[in-house]
A and B are shown apart, each in its own frame.
Chain A
Amino acid sequence: MKRIEEIPMYRRTKGPLMTIGVIVNNAILLIAAALSLLPILHIIAVSFSENAPANANLVGLIPIGFNLKAYAEAVTDSKMLVALVQTIKRTALGVPVNMILTILCAYPLSYHKKDFPMRTFYSGFVIFTMLFSGGLIPSYILMSRLNLMDTLWALVLPGIPVFNVIIMMNFFREIPEEIKEAAMIDGAEHFTMLTRIILPTSGAVLATLTLFCFVGHWNAWFDALIYMKDLTRYPLQNYIQTQVARMTLSPDLEEAKRLAFISRRSLLFARIFISIVPILIVYPFLQKYFQTGIIVGAVKG
């Protein structure tokens, strides 16, 4: 496949009309890139600003009266820290569980039905769950019947990553036959084959899907909204959500104390920024893998 940055020779610019075209083209692209980042840069600027300019909404993209007071209040907010710990716990539990399930499901399904006669049945069984669901309320009733409400398991077990299974299965199929056959000559069984041959050659897809799982768990909130009755068990996203919803109400006593010297907007945006820092850290890798993933998916079709 052609490299993505490649610019064909014959398309180099010539003539004055072309020069205008090139300028307009690149200007539009630059505006698109800026529009994607500006809202985020704006809230970061507000979170670092002084009380008065932040309240009066005078801050654009550069903080006015740079200070860290909003962050000092955010990181000493014990409820927010509890929520952060919940998010870390669900991510730490959810990512390995999801990945193990994905691997265990993708490996058998990567075989042709001639080698694994039940494959058609299993794949149909898995795919059907993508097409049809019982809906929100039956799942909700079930979760309370199973006594999983208010537990982390309610956030981890139902998230069966069928889409990831498909990506991983396709990757396993691409592993050259010769490698697999060499293992078969040595008399390897399936478990050995998976752990010794398949997984060590699948570093790329494992890294990509781990990253996706991580972002998925970090950003998830709806499951906790319905399955966590005890609000102290809310993950970070739900805590932020509560804070956003409260912006129209007057602050409670605890919050009012925090707002003595800072704007309410600065505090909210400091909380939001803290919540997206891990995503920003993994973003460069995420973007790289994600893009190749989309292109491979689209080309393979």
Chain B
Amino acid sequence: MKELSKKLKLKRTWQLHVMMVPIVVLLVIFCYVPMIGIVVSFQDYLPTKGFFGSPWVGLDNYRFLFSLNDFFQIIRNTLIISGGKILLGLIISIFFAIMLYESNMRIMKNVVQTSVFLPYFLSWVVLGGIFIDIFSLEGVVNRIISFLGIEPVMFMGHPIWFVIVIIITDVWKVYGYNMIVFYAAIMGIDTALYESATIDGAGRIRQVFAITLPSIAPMIVVMGMLSLGNILNAGFDQIFNMYNPTVMSTADILDTYIYRMGVVSGQYSFATAVGFFKSIVAMILIVTSNWAAKRFAGYRIF
């Protein structure tokens, strides 16, 4: 059979090249040309003069960036928000994956899986509009807590509460995804382990800590590492649709900063420098985390 397929191999690879043409052209125009456009960060780019007419300023934009106090605050905000989302996201999705596995009601499994995925497919424009209302001073959440006798909280206007709301609502939107990944990992555990544990008299909770968690530990590490590769993406879509001037000190992240500096204020060169810094660090993180995930658990994306 091997011999036969060798003989019959499709010889005309030029057709494969032809198929690749459209994507290569588009990638060159919309991905590779902007990479060259990074030179703008070494210029004082003026739209009227273009790439070739704008004056060169060397590393001035980068020196300016690293001298800014704002910059360190933005890095800190990015890492806190991102880190919080990764940590809480892992805990919640593992918790519910285990809960889902432990449930003995088939209908409950279906109900849960159908419900928790819905927010995943809604945009942050829509969800931002909903959450700004729900967490407002007169919103549903404050209604509930004042019913319990607690003072209303300015969730959207308080720098620390805002970050907490950002982390919780993001986890709320996406935890179904990792939940299913962990659920599939749990389903792959050899049921003989549980059977013998039951015979040995181990209770269900004991089994979770003695069997389930150790068995999915490699998967937890892989998911954690892959998220670390994306730690500089603290969620532009979400924050842009939810933040306001009163929470800038804790809510302004790299991407919102780049957007405001570049698109809103028109400081093209400076914003490109910030973007380049982010791209370089992000690339190093993604390559390292994928390498580590592959090495640690044989995970490969391509």
Contact = CB atoms under 8 A, between A and B. Distances in A.
A166 interface: yes
Nearest to A218: B123
A139 B123 CA distance: 23
A291 interface: yes
B40 A141 contact: yes
Contact of A32 (B96, B118, B126, B194): B96
A189 interface: yes
A259 to B, nearest CB: 16
Contacts of B64: none
Nearest to B293: A301
B8 A185 contact: yes
A136 B259 CA distance: 8
A94 interface: no
Chain B interface size band reads 35 or more
Interface in B287-302: 287, 297-302
B36 interface: yes
B148 interface: no
A135 B188 contact: no
Contact of A141 (B12, B37, B114, B300): B37
A299 B111 CA distance: 23
A13 B122 CA distance: 38
B12 A189 contact: yes
Contacts of B125: 219, 221, 237-238, 240-241, 244
Given A33-B116, A115-B9, A283-B118, A138 B26 contact: no
B126 A132 contact: no
A26 B108 contact: yes
A84 to B, nearest CB: 14
A299 B10 contact: no
B145 interface: no
Given A2-B187, A142-B37, A295-B180, 8 more contacts: A29-B99, A32-B99, A108-B19, A115-B13, A219-B121, A265-B133, A298-B180, A301-B299
Nearest first, the 7 A-B pairs at minimum CB distance are A135-B275, A138-B37, A134-B34, A219-B123, A138-B34, A33-B115, A190-B15
